[in-house]
Amino acid sequence: MRILLVEDDESIVELLTAVLVGQNYVVDVATDGESGWELVEAFPYDLILLDIMLPRLDGISFCRRLRERNNPVLVMLLTVRDTTTDKLMGLDGGADDYVIKPFNSQELIARVRALLRRGSTVLSSVLEYGGLQLDPNTRNVAYNGASLQFSRKEYLLLELFLRSPHRVFSRRAIVEHLWSFDEEAPVEDTVKSHIKNIRKELRRVGAGDLLETLYGQGYRLNPSFLEKSNPAPAPANVPPDRLDATVAQIWERKKGACLERLTVLDKAVQALKTRSLDATLHQKAIENAHKLAGGLGTFGLDEGSHLARQIETLLESYLPQVESSAAQHRQSINKPLEQLVSDLRQVIQQQPNQRVETSAEVQAAPTLSAQPQPILLVIDRDPALSRELELEAASWNIQVIHIADLAQLRTQLQHTEPNLILLDLDFLKDPASRSPLMADLQDFAPSTPIVVLSREEDYGDRLMAVQINAKLFLSKTTPLPQILQSITQIWQELHWGTAKVLVVGQVKTTRQMRTSLSPSLQITELNDFTQIWETIRAVHPDLLLLEMQVPDVNGLQLCQAIRQDPYWNWLPVVVLIQAVIPGILHDIFAAGADDYVTATTPLESVVVQVTNRIRRSRLLRSASQVDALTDLSNRQQSIQGLNQLLRIAQRSQQPVCFAVLDLDHFKRVNDQYGHMQGDRVLRQFGQFLKQKFRAGDVVARWGGEEFVVGMYGITWGDGTERLAEILEEWRSTPLTSNQETVLTTSFSAGVSQYPQDGITVQMLYRAADTALYRAKVAGRDRIFSTRWQPSLEASTVDVALIYPEDEDNFAQTLMRALDTRGYHTCWFKQGKDAIKRFRARRSPFQASAILLSDNLTDLSWRDLVKRLGTKQRHQMRIILLLSQSDTVEKNQADLLFDYLLVPCPTSVVMQRLRQPCPGILLNLLGDVLAPWGGITVGVAPGFIPLIMG
């Protein structure tokens, strides 16, 4: 069935599209009302999901227009507005249902199914025709009780016929119903191929003629098969795990967009403080608060949604165009609004939602996203070892609790639930301590993994470790980093979660396996061998269970084909055979299979074989793809991820920001503190980076102290700002040291952008590495993009700061922030000194922007701006830094580009500066228009770029 989603919030669009496509709906998307209307006029839809607050054409007007044109399509409104009046307005406008944001994805899917059933001539939840049954809830298809398997498009095609059992569908009509607007239209043979595959599967159960061809017209269900059917079974509930995982993954990608909306709210708060909140910014802030209120709750952040609603309400109560109202109301909402925005930022940044936590448990492979800090309970009588272990564990993000006296163990276990236990085997060798120790562990930590430490490595010690079911046996002579690396590996295994098994062939035991396998295994069935590669790419299985011989296909040849594929040759393959006959095992292993099972192998044994194979495969892949020291992707694995980002960016016409990071003066750390301390710094830096980037970003260590980052959908400007904020936080982060001194480090980075700086990973790396070299030459501890160029003239800068010495060191902090981002700067502490330089007859000083204090000791800011002259004022932006919340009169505001209250976070100032400034606009426009002869670019008063030719 085909659904149109009309929604302008990108996060909700991505979430709903993924969820609906996962339920086998065909989805088209429009981000404004008029675009949605164009799609309605072009394609037939079964349902429209419609936001109310839309650009160009609002949802209520959209709905009324539908009904005025007698279009009966079902409409479900999506909105944050939850008052009775709003609901009545929507339903009176012609909507069929009304869903309040934030909504639960599972509930929304259920509402969609219910609404589609209401509008369908087929009232049963299970679609039937003759002996054919299709359950849209579970997506199971059967004929007279025999299960049938179809690809996604084949399933949708069969559902289309069953929902309109008496209609003849032409190939064109099938394409319009089953292929979304942004998909490439299929060729004629594609539809014929799907029809052929459906008939082939139906023929297997004696219903090969159920699909009838009417030559010159199309296809329909054969009326001769129509007969009264038995009542359909009650539909099964849709498992929520996949929906929760989808929601969590999309949240990780869209978290940055929510933070950008917060930036707009920050700007509104600053403007409110300085009494400069105009109607445009006011309305923009309301819109962003509205979208946050609707989006955050949908991703499980109910507290964030509540805070955003409060912010929206406060902003709506403020009327900047009514001076009396604004003056009376400003003081009452200023502080509450600022606190709400601060609280909302904390919720988004620091409190993962429930669905994100759930997804971490169901992901099929090790993830590079940050894990919660594990608690390691160390039961050992060696205080020196415990101190060293605690110091080393800090760089591994592991919390250590030390127990030396068993009398404390029971109390500790009652108050703390450790994730892992490191046990000195000497406790078990002492009969007096063995029994109470094992009793406490059995009572309070029965399933907690145990790692054993032993002074000796003889058979008796190893056997004792086996008897207590320890996960790992380590010698006390093992270096501490290796001990912690092993512990981290076990911790990661606990969070690998659900593994995916792709069963290929007519495996009779598949249904038994689906019900009998442990919850950590997820089964996907495939009968159509022609869809093998598409299914593998879509499912991304951890293991392939392959039937050796099925009609028309040799399973061993398929195994060989997988081993020939450079991307999937790692995939474990277990072959199912009927019985062991001479020579068959040689053929199986020669084809590249990893193991085999027979039709008579007990199901429990199959589960153990499959689980062990997946575990070993994951361990080997982790070792080959992950840098052991930092737990980031290594060079080889990250190049694959970066290439994938570039392919996606090429298809979607989006930028990719590529950065090369290098820790500054790292050799000094090794020389002064030792290589073990250097490893700690690298490890902490890797953990730090994992926490600061999105789950979809590529973060890797390429060797030594060099790291790379790939960020999809981000330009070089946004990437530079993001890295600068990360650098400012990193340089103030104290690092663990084996000496009493506090150790801090910095890093430098070069930033390039796809496709402007290159279309391959190698080209982007070279461009970013060149920018990194310039950052190091300029003094390190800064972020330079490929756009950065050294200043050719000392009298020309990007930013001039005119600010006196201050006790809070705000000016010094601001100057360092500007230097970090690669701005060419100059600091004048007296207004008259600045005027002399700017008004000099020879080589007058030039700046793209001026940051001007209102608290100069020798000159008022108004006099300084007027002395600059009209021409200079129009050539640069002047941002006034107010020391107190004074009103800037309109005639004075005309002299300024912007003004804000200080001290404030430097990110607020950087945001103002990053708005397109004249010099940058001219350079960019000049680059774009260079190929067109006879065109020059100029700047008009008000800093509006003009194209003249």
pLDDT tens for 296-318 read 766 767 777 778 888 887 787 77
Mean pLDDT, range 53-64, rounded to an integer: 83
Ranges 362-366, 551-555, 586-590: which has the least confidence = 362-366
Residue 449 has pLDDT above 50, yes or no: yes
The pLDDT tens digits of the residues spanning 454-467 come to 887 788 888 888 88
Ranges 392-396, 565-569, 850-854: which has the least confidence = 392-396
Look at the pTM and tell me if it is higher than 0.85: no
Residues 763 and 408: their CA atoms lie apart, in Å, by 59
Residues 235 and 117: their CA atoms lie apart, in Å, by 13
Residue 77 has pLDDT above 80, yes or no: yes
- Report the half-sphere exposure of 861 (CA within 13 A, side-chain side): 23
Mean pLDDT, range 714-731, rounded to an integer: 89
User: Looking at residue 292, what is its pLDDT?
Assistant: 81
Mean pLDDT, range 218-224, rounded to an integer: 82
How many other β-carbons are positioned within 10 Å of the β-carbon of residue 47?
22
The pLDDT tens digits of the residues spanning 792-832 come to 777 788 899 999 887 778 888 899 999 999 898 999 999 88
Which amino acid is located at 201 in the chain?
E
Please, what is the average pLDDT of the chain? 77
Residues 297 and 103: their CA atoms lie apart, in Å, by 7
The pLDDT tens digits of the residues spanning 109-125 come to 877 877 776 655 444 46
**371 is written with which tokens?**
């894990």
Residue 903: is the preceding peptide bond cis (ω within 30°)?
A: yes
Mean pLDDT, range 418-447, rounded to an integer: 83
**Residues above pLDDT 90, as percent of the chain:** 9
User: Looking at residue 929, what is its pLDDT?
Assistant: 46
| Sheet containing 146-148, strands listed edge to edge, beginning at the edge strand earlier in sequence | 127-129, 132-135, 140-143, 146-148
Higher pLDDT, 903 or 512: 903
User: Looking at residue 353, what is its pLDDT?
Assistant: 42
Q: Which residues pair with 751 in a beta bridge?
A: 659, 785
Mean pLDDT, range 318-342, rounded to an integer: 64
Cβ proximity of 714 and 759 under 8 Å: no
The pLDDT tens digits of the residues spanning 187-201 come to 666 788 888 888 888
Cβ proximity of 734 and 742 under 8 Å: yes
Under 8 Å CB-to-CB from 535, ≥6 apart: which residues? 151, 502, 524, 526
Higher pLDDT, 802 or 178: 802
Residues 531 and 626: their CA atoms lie apart, in Å, by 31
User: Looking at residue 818, what is its pLDDT?
Assistant: 92
User: Looking at residue 894, what is its pLDDT?
Assistant: 67
Residues 913 and 932: their CA atoms lie apart, in Å, by 30
Ranges 221-230, 307-316, 317-326, 769-778: which has the least confidence = 317-326
| Sheet containing 656-663, strands listed edge to edge, beginning at the edge strand earlier in sequence | 698-703, 706-712, 656-663, 747-754, 783-785
Residue in this structure with the two tokens 């981290």, named with its chain if needed: 488
The pLDDT tens digits of the residues spanning 31-52 come to 888 888 888 877 778 889 988 8
Residue 231: is the preceding peptide bond cis (ω within 30°)?
A: no
Residue in this structure with the two tokens 């809070």, named with its chain if needed: 808
User: Looking at residue 640, what is its pLDDT?
Assistant: 85
The band of 509, judged by pLDDT with boundaries at 50, 70 and 90, is: low
DSSP 756: T
Residue 279 has pLDDT above 80, yes or no: no
What are the two backbone dihedrals, phi and then psi, of residue 656, each rounded to the nearest 5 degrees? Answer: -130, 130
Cβ proximity of 53 and 31 under 8 Å: no
User: Looking at residue 941, what is its pLDDT?
Assistant: 28
The band of 750, judged by pLDDT with boundaries at 50, 70 and 90, is: very high
Task: Determine which helix (DSSP H) or strand (DSSP E) holds 798, and give its type and residue range.
Answer: strand 796-802
Residue 319 has pLDDT above 50, yes or no: yes
Task: Determine which helix (DSSP H) or strand (DSSP E) holds 211, and give its type and residue range.
Answer: strand 211-214
Higher pLDDT, 834 or 416: 834
User: Looking at residue 707, what is its pLDDT?
Assistant: 96
User: Looking at residue 747, what is its pLDDT?
Assistant: 95
Residues 546 and 534: their CA atoms lie apart, in Å, by 16
